[in-house]
Structure 1
């Protein structure tokens, strides 16, 4: 066997285990879900029938779907920029030579290691009307009592705050690792040139952090789409679907209403959104990113 052919065969054999797992647990479920979305849901003795795009036509007329999609858009816009900005700020702070740096790093990262159900229950106590922690603070300031999770105007915003608190510490770890890879001579050179701290961050530091930012951005987007735990515990999508997100609505359709075919169609929408985000990332953002 020629050396070049042998190298190719060896490479594919090394990739084979990961390729098999990828096909079995990623590609095949996606194809099966797309196929299942073209059929009706079997019920009792009635077998599934081919309905084509009927589930997708019904989706266009489903007001709850559009409400969940709109909520998810606002949820992503509320959580992603705020989580990234807070993560960068925390990483810059704990990367410096300050007292108690180890304790601060641990404190910022602690919400990440807590299970999402536990986090939801903690914040559920914070938001509880009349005797919750937030109510105690607002009451001490003379402000009226408010049901944060029971009001349409504040329910989604309250869940956004929980997601930011949970994710910012996790993203901080990636930025902290990236900052420690940047040579301190760049800061010294910028100081000699008379650059301010903001100018150094904007012109030097942030461009070097762009690869990490892209990685964090994709993870934050995925997290915003697959968020379901604390919605289930805190609001169950209420009031009146004001805090329902796409994945929670899929859970409702599939496991509460037992309409697996329509749930499959909704799942394809989520995959399409994530696929579009991946295309934007690899086709446009990567070209504008500087890799060391």
Structure 2
């Protein structure tokens, strides 16, 4: 009985120690993530206070207004297309670059640095660089296409090309960032696995599909979640390059929230839009975790 009591006391001490160790992280997460999310949900049921008029409870009125808002639906649709265009491309490109620079290449250190350089550049600096590339008449792209006699295109001023132009900038900046995670994962895989696969007569494609890709699934899950969050939190490039134009063709959801909250000063409606953004992110992340977790091996 005494030994059992001692073991129970030791287990309790370990549990208390564990909770004390994670308490700072839990407190910060609750203060800066969970509480703001709940407060945003609460404010979405109230009107915006203006001057001496306090906020009043309006129930689902803001959500009804959002359902009839064509700009909201346009921004949500744009964001979905933006995510579909940037996430698979940037992740696939990152994996391809990681596989390349992980091999025995001369000057691979410089090549890795070249791929990673866009990641360390500030978002506003990247937007201004590409703004010069896209500028019609005297931009870099216009100068190159002019050498072949092609007409100048206003990439950011056309409804058909504004959003794809933003997608290209995002892919250029994020692929090198995701490459680092894949490169670290590849370097953690024992080379004996490849040697054993080659001895069994497996081709490169079979080795990648049957051995390498399953081992990279934890990294892929992490990268996909980060890519999803990045696709829905982009606002810097939109502010600098298009401001949502032309005719809301490049307006993304977070940029519209920024407009409503800080340009139109309708904080209640901005809170409502933020709730929808959080719901979209949570639902998509939940689907990804449940779908990919079955295909993920952590050992």
Which TM-score tier does this pair reach, normalised by the shorter chain?
A: over 0.9
* Inter-partner Cα distance in structure 2 for 1:183 and 1:141: 49
Residue 125 of structure 2: which of 102, 118, 121 is its match? 118
Query: Could you tell me which residue of structure 2 aligns to residue 178 of structure 1?
Result: 185
Deviation at 1:119, TM superposition (A): 0.2
5+ long unaligned stretches in structure 2: 1-7
Query: Could you tell me which residue of structure 2 aligns to residue 253 of structure 1?
Result: 260
* Inter-partner Cα distance in structure 2 for 1:56 and 1:277: 21
Residue 217 of structure 2: which of 210, 222, 228 is its match? 210
Alignment length (residue pairs): 292
Deviation at 1:184, TM superposition (A): 1.0
Contact 2:257–2:274, Cα closer than 8 Å, also in 1: yes
Contact 2:214–2:295, Cα closer than 8 Å, also in 1: no
* Inter-partner Cα distance in structure 2 for 1:176 and 1:7: 36
Structure-to-structure mapping, 1:241-280, within 5 angstroms: 241-280=248-287
Provide the secondary structure at the position in 1 that maps to 2:56: coil
Deviations 1:134-176 (A, max 9, x none): 1111111221111000000000000000000000000000000
Residue 202 of structure 2: which of 186, 190, 195 is its match? 195
5+ long unaligned stretches in structure 1: none
* Inter-partner Cα distance in structure 1 for 2:110 and 2:119: 15
* Inter-partner Cα distance in structure 2 for 1:258 and 1:156: 26
Residue 67 of structure 1: which of 62, 71, 74 is its match? 74
**1:21 and 2:7 equivalent?**
no
* Inter-partner Cα distance in structure 2 for 1:93 and 1:141: 32
Q: How large is the RMSD of aligned CA atoms in angstroms?
A: 1.0
More displaced stretch, 2-11 vs 270-279: 2-11
Deviation at 1:51, TM superposition (A): 0.2
Taking structure 2 as the reference length, what is the TM-score of the superposition? 0.96
Structure-to-structure mapping, 1:80-159, within 5 angstroms: 80-159=87-166
